[in-house]
């Protein structure tokens, strides 16, 4: 075996043990650089350099593909041409772990049960779970409603303005926060007592702090985060304006705030107690706290490559998965063992097991078609809203 072949084997071994993101990115940058080299040169020199790059690239790929390690390289090249896990199953036949998914699609919200069976809740724009998965709150146009997991409506509320981003509090389920235009409003869990809380809200789902206090946080259009008591309408705290907020999520007495440039945790008084900034100029796209509150999954993007990183207490961040294109917001399973990563560009869902240490994943393909059966013209990639406890 030549030194070059041994070096290739060593590199591929490194890919297989979990460092594929950095290695593939370096290789891809070399290939991409060959493709764009000489853009500012005279036409003749540019054509010459491009032909030379093509010849070198083809020769390199042929050498790699026919080598003993070619199988791994072929998978990598295929992923770069068409994003997606090559071993993805074509149909969602079951969910790992416990609980049921709530998924928004072009057809409306779906409940996905552990055995893979699905039920369409109705012609609604979006949905969100109640704290125990016994109901869902749904919206469409001017309408807010509570429905059972089989789609049976329990009550309906109509507002003059556009209604969206409704979220149910936990664990008692006595309050629902939602946006009407740029106004934050709250209604009781039985559909009564609808009331205005605050104005100037950004198009970000409000977040409830778990417990009997009925405290809700929302983001303003200027990038501030404000918390209110939904019962007394007393303002608990308000942060200074900053970069736009992408999402909010309470974990115990602390609030995870995801912004494009960073992820931060606020204390119950609104003071920042922790900040994480992605390395290498990457941008934060989304983040989700695990049920145990000790781990955060963060999606970042940089130069056409997306990553999902795991940030845990007393441990350095590590990349769980990286690939070309875009990832949507990840969702933790109710027991915190699995992480669902929607790969938008590949039309796939990846089920990762962050604690296993094996790097294995389960992948499901053709999600847009599965959630728009019989209507390919309106099919779009479904949005995973939540993964909740087992629905009875």
Statement: residue 35 has pLDDT above 50: no
351-380 average pLDDT score: 87
| Range in 21-30, 96-105, 132-141, 352-361 with the lowest mean pLDDT | 21-30
Q: Quick check: 197 pLDDT over 80?
A: yes
- When pLDDT is cut at 50, 70 and 90, the band that residue 282 belongs to is very high
For the sheet with 110-112, list strands across it. 118-120, 110-112, 100-104, 383-388
Q: How much is the pLDDT for 49?
A: 52
pLDDT confidence of residue 319: 94
The band of 81, judged by pLDDT with boundaries at 50, 70 and 90, is low
61-62-67 Cα angle (round to 5): 100
pLDDT value at residue 284: 97
Full set of structural domains in the chain with CATH: 3-81 (no CATH), 100-388 (2.130.10.10)
How high is the pLDDT of residue 17? 39
pLDDT band at 51 (very low <50, low <70, confident <90, very high): low
d(CA 359, CA 83): 18
Mean pLDDT is lowest, of 47-51, 204-208, 254-258, 327-331, for 47-51
Q: What is the mean pLDDT of residues 365-369?
A: 95
What integer pLDDT is reported at residue 55 of this predicted model? 43
How does the average pLDDT of the chain come out, rounded? 83
Quick check: 172 pLDDT over 80? yes
Q: What was the pLDDT predicted at 375?
A: 76
- Lowest-pLDDT range of 73-82, 329-338, 360-369, 375-384: 73-82
The mean pLDDT value for 286-300 works out to 95
Tell me the pLDDT band of 268, cut-offs 50, 70 and 90. Answer: very high
pLDDT above 60 (res 281) = yes
pLDDT mean over 127-149? 96
Burial 313-325 (b: 16+ CB within 10 A, else e): eeeebeebbbbbb
- Is the whole-model pTM more than 0.75? yes
Find the mean pLDDT for residues 232-243.
95
Structure tokens at 111: 């409940």
Percent of the chain with pLDDT over 70: 78
Closest CA to 248 of 195, 184, 310, 304: 184
296-318 per-position pLDDT tens digit:
999 999 999 999 999 987 678 89
Q: Average pLDDT, stretch 81-87?
A: 83
């Amino acid at each position: 075996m030549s030194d070059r072949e041994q070096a290739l084997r060593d590199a591929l071994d490194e890919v297989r043990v979990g460092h594929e993101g950095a290695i593939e990115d370096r290789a891809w940058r070399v290939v991409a650089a060959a493709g764009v080299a000489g853009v500012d040169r005279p036409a003749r020199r540019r054509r010459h350099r491009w032909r030379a790059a093509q010849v070198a690239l083809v020769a390199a790929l042929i050498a790699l593909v026919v080598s003993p390690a070619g199988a791994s390289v072929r998978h990598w090249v295929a992923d770069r041409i068409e994003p997606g896990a090559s071993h993805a199953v074509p149909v969602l036949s079951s969910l790992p772990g416990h609980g049921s998914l709530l998924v928004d699609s072009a057809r409306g919200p779906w409940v996905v049960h552990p055995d893979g069976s699905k039920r369409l809740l109705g012609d609604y724009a979006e949905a969100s779970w109640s704290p125990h998965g016994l109901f869902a709150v749904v919206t469409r146009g001017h309408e807010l409603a509570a429905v059972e997991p089989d789609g049976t409506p329990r009550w309906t509320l109509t507002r003059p303005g556009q209604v969206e981003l409704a979220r149910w509090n936990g664990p008692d389920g006595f309050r629902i926060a939602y946006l009407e235009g740029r106004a934050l409003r709250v209604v009781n869990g039985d559909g009564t007592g609808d009331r205005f809380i605050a104005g100037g809200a950004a198009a970000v789902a409000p977040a409830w702090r778990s417990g009997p206090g009925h405290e809700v946080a929302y983001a303003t259009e200027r990038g501030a985060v404000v918390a209110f008591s939904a019962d007394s309408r007393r303002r608990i705290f308000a942060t200074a304006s900053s970069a736009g907020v992408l999402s909010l999520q309470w974990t115990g007495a602390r609030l995870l705030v995801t912004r494009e440039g960073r992820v931060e945790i606020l204390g119950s008084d609104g003071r920042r107690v922790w900040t994480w900034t992605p390395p290498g100029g990457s941008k934060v796209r989304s983040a989700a706290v695990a049920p145990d509150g000790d781990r955060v999954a963060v999606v970042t993007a940089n130069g056409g490559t997306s990553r999902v990183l795991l940030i845990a207490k007393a441990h350095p961040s590590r990349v769980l998965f990286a690939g070309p294109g875009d990832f949507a917001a990840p969702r933790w399973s109710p027991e915190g063992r699995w992480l669902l990563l929607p790969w938008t560009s590949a039309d796939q869902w990846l089920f990762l097991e962050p604690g296993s240490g094996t790097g294995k994943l389960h992948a499901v393909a053709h999600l847009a078609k599965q959630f728009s059966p019989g209507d390919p013209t309106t099919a779009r990639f479904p949005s995973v809203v939540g993964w909740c406890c087992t629905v009875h």
